[in-house]
Structures are given as structure tokens and as C-alpha cells.
Amino acid sequence: MSVRVIEDDEHFQKELQAAGIRLVLVEFAANWSGPCKRIAKEFEYLPNKYSQVNFLKIDVQECQEASAIENISVIPTFLFYRNKTKIDILEGNDLASLEAKIQQLLNQSDENEQKFASAIKSLNSFYASDEANSSGDLVTPTFTPDELGKELKLDRNTVEFLKNEPVDERDPLMILDFQAGFSKLANFIGNKNMVFDALVRSGAQQISGNVFKFLTWEDLYASHSFMKNEIPWAFYSEYPAFSARNGLSNVPTIQTTIITWFSEQKLSTHPFEFFKF
């Protein structure tokens, strides 16, 4: 890993786009600046220490448009982005403060992942509440890939993917089921393709059709936030006043089911309200 030097404003936008849901740290600097020179070596080392972060460096004279848009008045200035959105700022060349800010933002991501894990654990308990084994312990219903394919009417490519993918409970798959609330929108096919495209841009991998895979629960959570900002019209709310005020449907638009690996060749499913605002 290394710091990527940005060549121009177009290059900067491409790097932010490519980063997706990863945390991006951008240093706005100048070659003639003493404070920038003093932190230069330490900044170059940071990618080795924080592999979860993309590090970029911008010369304010080379990328004047980006510098002007971000209103850079102090150098160095460090800006933090996720999903192309600026989420924090730090001015000056204090390394300790910079590392503290990096750790703070990474810890926030960890907390989000823990929230998702807790939610899924609760769903597991709910889903298994009516089924018990001979000892009275709750059990989660599991399926083989073929059984799940038949149950959820998955295409053959998805079933084969489920058979061959290494078992990892941190790799959730999400199946989209478009509902009446979505069908009421004009241009159904075009809107559906926009949803698929936004999911891919948020970092999801499209396995086939309406099946998408995320690397971690954290990525799933970040994708949810990205999608609410990118295509809010695809979401719904159960509260009519809120729906009317924000231009949302008040009936489900897209229902989603999560597939997780329970053990070798055994899968479990959970309802998940990804598109609920």
C-alpha cells in the first residue's frame, strides 16, 4: 500500500468513485510548505499501518478546482471521505491528531458492523423461535444450496455460486423482491436497473439478476446509507406523514432476504428491511 498522488481533478473524482465504501483520507498539500514537508514522511508510512484506508495526496496548485470546492485555506488540510461524501476534516500537521481521527472513523465502522451482527442474531432467534430440537434448544432452519434454490426460486448460476463459495458467515448475500410499491413507479425496468447499478457502485457484487453479495456486514450497512442518499425514491416508510413529506412510498417497494452460510453446504435465510427508510 502507498499514498496515491493525484494528477488532476478528474483523477481525484475517479479515485473517490473507485473507493466506494472504503474510508479515504486526502491530504491537500503544497511542495513549498514547511508544515507539509515536516509531516510528509509520516504520512507516507500511514498506508502500511492502516490498510483499511485509501490514502491520497493532492497538490493544491495541480488540483485547483478541488481545492477551491473544498475551500482549502490551511495546508496541510486532511479531508476524510466515504462513498464520495466528505465526512470529516483536520487542519494542520499534528500526526497524533491525524491518527486519532483515523482510528475514530474506523471504530465507527466497527460499531456499525456490530450493530448489524446484533440485528442478525436477533433475527436468527426470531426465525427459529417456533422450532426446537429434541433437547428443547432453539435451532435455525438450514438448507442446502439446491433446497434454497428451490425454496427461493433462485437461478442456476446463483445455486452454483452458493455451492462453490467458501463458507464465511461474514459474507452476506441479499435477494431483492420488487413489490407493488415499486411497480407503481414509472419506468419499472429502468428504475430496477438503476437500483442494481447503485448497489454495484456501493460496493456490492452482483451474482446474477437480483442477487447481490457483500464482503462484510459493515459493507452492507454502508451500502444501505449510500443507497438512501443515491436513490431515496426506492425506499419506503410505514409512516404516511413522513412518506408524503419526503416523497417516499408508504408501502414496501423492495423486500430483501439475507442468505448466510451456517456451515459447510448449509445456508440460512433471514428477512431484512434494507429498503425501509
Fold topology of 4-105: Glutaredoxin (3.40.30)
- Give the domain ranges of the chain: 4-105, 142-272
Coil, helix or strand at residue 178: strand
How confident is the model at residue 114, as a pLDDT?
A: 53
Coil, helix or strand at residue 211: strand
CA 215, distance to chain mean position in Å, is 9
Give the helix/strand (H/E) hosting 27.
strand 23-29
- Percent of the chain scored above 70 by pLDDT? 85
Q: Which residues pair with 178 in a beta bridge?
A: 254
Which of 205, 187, 184 has the alpha carbon at shortest distance from 196?
205
Coil, helix or strand at residue 50: coil
Each residue's pLDDT tens digit, 101-118: 999 888 776 555 455 445
- Residue identified by cell 471521505 is 81
How confident is the model at residue 139, as a pLDDT?
A: 53
Residue 129 pLDDT greater than 90, yes or no: no
How confident is the model at residue 118, as a pLDDT?
A: 53
Q: Determine the average pLDDT of the residues in 138-157.
A: 81
How confident is the model at residue 42, as a pLDDT?
A: 94
Higher-confidence residue: 244 or 197?
Answer: 197
How confident is the model at residue 242, as a pLDDT?
A: 79
Rounded Cα gap, residues 239 and 251, in angstroms: 9
How confident is the model at residue 167, as a pLDDT?
A: 67
Residue 37 pLDDT greater than 60, yes or no: yes
